[in-house]
Every structure is written in C-alpha cells, then in structure tokens.
Chain A
Amino acid sequence: QVQLQESGPGLVRPSETLSLSCSVSGVSISSTTYYWGWIRQPPGKGLEWIGSVYNSGNSYHSASLKSRVIISIDASSNQFSLHLTSMTAADTGVYYCARQEDGFDIWGQGTMVTVSS
C-alpha cells in the first residue's frame, strides 16, 4: 500500500524559503514510472498545482510559481522535496504531496504552512 507523508515547518517568516519533504512508503520512487507532485490549498479555497518531478529529476512547474519553485527527488531516502522562495502571506495554506498518474491518485494528509513574522 503506497502512502505519502509531508513534513516541514508549520511557520515560515515572510521573504524566507519554505522547504517541505514528502516521504513515500510502499513503493520505490526510483523504480516507478510515475511523476510525484505538490499541490496547495489556501484556507477556504480550492486546489492549486505547484509542480511535479519524475524519478530522473526532470520537473515541471506552474507558470505562476515557476520562478520561485524547485522540486527535487532523493531516491536514496525515497523522498521528494519542495522549495518555495520569497514566501508571503499569500502562500499560507495546506501543502499536499501526491502521486501523479491519470490524475493525482494517492495523496498525503497535508501539512499546514503559515507565513507570518
């Protein structure tokens, strides 16, 4: 059974960089043909795709966030990571990692990130 679990700080200062990790269990991310993605949800709002990464390290990102996003994969620890620079209050919300196939078919439980000084 494949499971994903996000981890990272719950509070980030404005202008700082958010770093989140997603631990994958039940499958080796380096041996699969899936992409792995990050999605976020501001409080009371809808879902926004941030970007996705393949086991080769190839990644692609939302055009609106592209200049601020780095998504990488660490096959040795079976994790993938999100780095989002220049955080502002508008980046506050729940951040999810998910397995990407025809749709994001397995989701982590999400982690709340608040941007505040």
Chain B
Amino acid sequence: QPVLTQSASASASLGASVRLTCTLSRGHASYIIAWHQQQPGKAPRYLMNLQFRGVYSKGSGVPDRFSGSSSGADRFLVISNVQLEDEADYFCETWDSTTRVFGGGTKLTVL
C-alpha cells in the first residue's frame, strides 16, 4: 500500500511564499493525492486534489494563493502571499482500491 512522507514542520514569513512537500512511496509515484488544511482546534478542510502531471482541482472557496504542482513522486502545495490564517497543519492523503492513507502532516508557522 502507498505511504506518504511529509516534513514535520515548515515556516514562512508573512507575505512570502512557501512550498510544502508530500512524497509518495516507491511504486506509487503516479498516484493522485489530496491536500487538507487543519487550523488549530478545527476540523480538516479539503484544499485540492493533485495529479501526477501537476494538474490540480481545488475545493470550493479555497483562495487563489493556494496551488499545487508535482515532480515525480513529490506532490507540492504552494502557498503564495502567506497570511496569518495559513498557520495550520497540512496533511496529504492518497488511496488505492483497498485503503486510504494520510501523511504525518506538516505544521506551518507564519513568522
């Protein structure tokens, strides 16, 4: 089954850009993933799904400053013009016919 690897933490200055990485395990590089944002004390919020070739589809109401891209087994969440409300945990998710898995999450701190 697929495994997703994320860095535990990241930081970005207010107004800057940041790229978060989710890496698919060997043999699963072509998988679609989803990105979710979880602000402190809240439920996760779906941001987008992201395909192997970097094509992504965002959820309703997700700001334009959120985008996605891909390179091989890596799936990126790019946040431009980072805002204070972007300080949150970010989880990636993937699936196959028998299971669904989440990455360990990246905690984004806005400086």
B76 interface hit (Cβ, 8 Å): no
What distance in Å separates the Cβ of B4 from its nearest Cβ neighbour in chain A? 10
Check A52 against B100 for contact (C-beta < 8 Å).
yes
A62 interface hit (Cβ, 8 Å): yes
What distance in Å separates the Cβ of A35 from its nearest Cβ neighbour in chain B? 9
In Å, the complex CA distance between A102 and B55 comes to 13
Chain B residues with CB under 8 Å of A108's CB are 43
In Å, the complex CA distance between A102 and B99 comes to 13
Q: Which of A46, A49, A96, A105 sits near B100, CB closer than 8 Å?
A: A49
Interface size, A (range): 20 to 34
Chain A residues with CB under 8 Å of B49's CB are 102-103
22 A-B pairs in the complex with CB atoms less than 8 angstroms apart: A46-B103, A46-B104, A47-B36, A47-B91, A47-B93, A47-B102, A49-B99, A62-B99, A63-B99, A96-B43, A96-B44, A102-B34, A102-B57, A103-B34, A103-B46, A103-B93, A104-B46, A105-B34, A105-B46, A107-B43, A107-B44, A109-B43
Query: Which residues of B line the A interface, CB within 8 A?
Result: 32-36, 43-46, 49, 57, 59, 91, 93, 98-105
